[in-house]
């Protein structure tokens, strides 16, 4: 899928003539038309595949937090969760940056999907942590909202920076 306006604008900024831009776009269109159907299917679903992989990686990350939530408390816990969130956020950032044809709707999906799923996952994880704490006769985790925010906000920071750098907030 060729986004003519995007390419035209980019080429104009680099000082290309209208003829050079038109020839290049014509060549790109021909190449697009000759793509194998399987390749087109993969390209169209690459975003969703990457999104699901990121979701699964995040699920494992939130499961890893159970012992951390039970063992650490206060600032130490928040710093560890922030480091974990930032680490997985950088992974999401690098995946999103490598996918060439992301559109505003894709970025909006990521920006809405991940905070919502993270909040849901952390509510479940906190509930499980409370059950473990009760079973092991440990103090229950405090401040569930702070625990969720300590992971979620750093997680979204690298992706937010990517959106601001590429000005993807506006279509």
Distance CA 63, CA 133 (A): 15
Task: Identify which has the larger pLDDT, 160 or 103.
Answer: 160
CB 44 within 8 A of CB 114: no
The pLDDT assigned to 171 comes to 45
Mean pLDDT of 3-30: 80
User: pLDDT confidence of 82, banded at 50, 70, 90?
Assistant: very high
- For the stretch 61-72, pLDDT in tens is 888 888 888 888
Residue 99: pLDDT over 80: no
Q: Are 118 and 58 in contact (CB under 8 A)?
A: yes
Q: Token pair of 142, please? A: 């405090």
Q: CA 165 to CA 53: how far, in whole Å?
A: 24
pLDDT in tens, 23-74: 888 887 887 777 777 877 777 777 778 778 878 887 888 888 888 888 888 8
Question: For residues 93 and 159, is the Cβ–Cβ distance under 8 A?
Answer: yes
H or E element: which one contains 74? helix 74-98
Minimal CA–CA distance to 169: which of 123, 103, 122, 81?
Answer: 103
**Higher per-residue pLDDT: 76 or 148:** 76
């Amino acid at each position: 899928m060729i986004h003519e306006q995007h390419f035209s604008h980019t080429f104009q900024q680099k000082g290309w003539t209208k003829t050079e831009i038109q020839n290049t776009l014509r060549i790109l269109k021909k190449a697009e038309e000759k793509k194998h159907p399987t390749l087109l299917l993969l390209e169209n679903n690459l975003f969703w595949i990457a999104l699901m992989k990121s979701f699964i990686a995040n699920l494992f990350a939130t499961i890893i937090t159970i012992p951390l939530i039970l063992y650490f408390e206060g600032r130490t816990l928040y710093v560890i969760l922030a480091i974990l969130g930032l680490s997985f956020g950088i992974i999401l950032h690098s995946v999103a940056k490598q996918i060439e044809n992301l559109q505003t709707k894709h970025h909006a999906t990521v920006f809405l999907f991940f905070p919502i799923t993270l909040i849901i996952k952390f509510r479940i994880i906190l509930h499980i942590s409370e059950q473990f704490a009760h079973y092991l006769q440990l103090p229950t985790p405090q401040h569930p909202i702070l625990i969720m925010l300590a992971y979620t906000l750093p997680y979204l920071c690298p992706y937010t920076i990517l959106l601001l750098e590429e000005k993807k907030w506006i279509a």
